[in-house]
Structure 1
């Protein structure tokens, strides 16, 4: 199998450019967060269609008078610029993945660098859909923090040169199984961030007295019910994807190793992670567990997913310890 060095170099440049642009977007979004006013966003969402910013119905406008368009605050302008850059980041990350695949003439999910790149891309793309409402947009600054950290680790500690994969990964199951798992992991990242912000919002409710720096940070977040709803709806999407990935991995294991399940460390922790998320969905639907208890279970699932990605792949030996994973 031939490796096209030029395409591989372009892929690395696209990934590095995505990291640089995401850093700039993070600066703009932090500036937006520092000057954000949740009450102004709420006012905008309550204004009916066709009405001016002051809330006067369109039918009561004075004939012949031209109402000035609503002005945007500096916070909104900074946020819009930051989110526009996030779209550029998504395009660069997709380009990096595609170029990596063309460079190696295989599906670009053969090592941890490529897996993390795919998961981060899924998180950013899903965030563009899930956080499109004005009341959610302020959460971008929190979603991008773990994405930036993961991208930094992928480009440094986890980086692997473009190369053919080991024989164990030369299967049509690779793009099916690993793509579903990586996309599910990216979606769970959004869900985990939402639950952590929910717990912060519950700890520091609106207009809390003497709450300090964390309280001032929490005041700019959406209300607790909105955050809890986002975490739940996101998990509903990621849960069946992750479960399907585990099942397809078992089918691949039977074809490659002659058994569906062997309690390999990677298999075991993946199953535990799936069970934790199943427990979260059950707790979320159970009276008495819907609030903080369910959110903590969701956070535990997110931690288990990170443990499976880093500790199991890089520290523990098993049948999945190949292709640059250790």
Structure 2
């Protein structure tokens, strides 16, 4: 078995495990089946292993990190978000209801990666800088923390809505959800900020300018400002439900920035999003 076959086989195995974990966790949370919840969590953690190995094998095959093609970017983003969630879940078991959002999104992003082209491209000379690595690392942490923050914000909105199903009665109280959503958003705000600064330094090294109002640059700045607006609104005593809605809007803009803008606009990032 060559390295490419091993990689795609492991990735498919991870996707199958993600799907099983999603179903078990959903049933476990909604119907309070703790055994199914635990089984879903165990399977989800197990899925991270073949997925992570597949990313490493891709790295070895291409000679560069997972940041050049849609297949690599989306796959590694899904892994980082999932791993970050499991780490937080280990420290804060009450985050378990967020699995209803995180698990399906991990499955969707992994499936998207599998449907993308796996053609290997060589890394351009302009990409060979430590600032690109820093830029990519913080972009992935920004995505992961923003995803978790918005998952809690969504549960908050459901919990405080006019109608409450049985499973929502068993999730943490609204104040707890709001508190941790706020903290995760503050972390995401910092991650997006460092991502933008590192990207600007990389751009200056590669093309001789820090900022050129490239569509990705512009939308990244909009995402960062939206998260800053959320933090300001929340810190100054804004209504939590409105803050939660702003949180979800910020995630939407961030996802559009990371995954849609390179396809919609002529941007330097389009060179590797294929």
Name the TM-score, length of structure 1 as normaliser: 0.79
Matched, 1:300 2:249: yes
Partner of 2:67, secondary structure, is coil
User: Partner residue of 1:154?
Assistant: 113
How far apart, in 1, do the equivalents of 2:65 and 2:87 lie? 25
**Counterparts in 2 of 1:286 and 1:24: CA distance versus 1, 3 Å:** same
1:170 to 105, 114, 128: 128
2:168 to 218, 235, 252: 218
Coordinate RMSD, CA, aligned: 1.8
How far apart, in 1, do the equivalents of 2:143 and 2:97 lie? 22
How far apart, in 2, do the equivalents of 1:17 and 1:159 lie? 19
How far apart, in 1, do the equivalents of 2:167 and 2:117 lie? 34
User: Partner residue of 2:53?
Assistant: 95
How far apart, in 2, do the equivalents of 1:138 and 1:264 lie? 38
User: Partner residue of 1:24?
Assistant: 20
Partner of 1:159, secondary structure, is coil
Matched, 1:137 2:96: yes
Deviations 1:10-62 (A, max 9, x none): 222222111110111112112212321xxxxxxxxxxxxxxxxxxxxxxxxxx
- Equivalent residues of 1:118, 1:183 under 8 A apart: no
Structure 2: unaligned runs, 5 residues or longer: none
1:279 to 198, 205, 229: 229
Offset at residue 79 of structure 1 (A): 1.1
User: Partner residue of 1:69?
Assistant: none
- 77-86 or 230-239, which moves further after superposition? 230-239
> Residues 232-243 of structure 1: matches in 2 within 5 Å?
232-243=182-193
How far apart, in 2, do the equivalents of 1:113 and 1:17 lie? 16
Offset at residue 242 of structure 1 (A): 1.6
- Equivalent residues of 1:117, 1:154 under 8 A apart: yes
How far apart, in 2, do the equivalents of 1:160 and 1:134 lie? 37
> Residues 171-186 of structure 1: matches in 2 within 5 Å?
171-186=129-144
How far apart, in 1, do the equivalents of 2:180 and 2:239 lie? 13
Partner of 1:321, secondary structure, is helix
How far apart, in 2, do the equivalents of 1:141 and 1:294 lie? 21
Q: Which structure is larger by alpha-carbon Rg, 1 or 2?
A: 1
Partner of 1:162, secondary structure, is coil
2:73 to 115, 121, 142: 115
How far apart, in 1, do the equivalents of 2:228 and 2:180 lie? 17
How far apart, in 1, do the equivalents of 2:121 and 2:212 lie? 29
> What is the number of equivalent residue pairs in this alignment?
273
How far apart, in 2, do the equivalents of 1:303 and 1:255 lie? 30
Offset at residue 217 of structure 1 (A): 4.8
Offset at residue 290 of structure 1 (A): 4.2
How far apart, in 1, do the equivalents of 2:211 and 2:118 lie? 29
How far apart, in 2, do the equivalents of 1:284 and 1:81 lie? 36
Offset at residue 131 of structure 1 (A): 2.2
How far apart, in 2, do the equivalents of 1:176 and 1:198 lie? 33
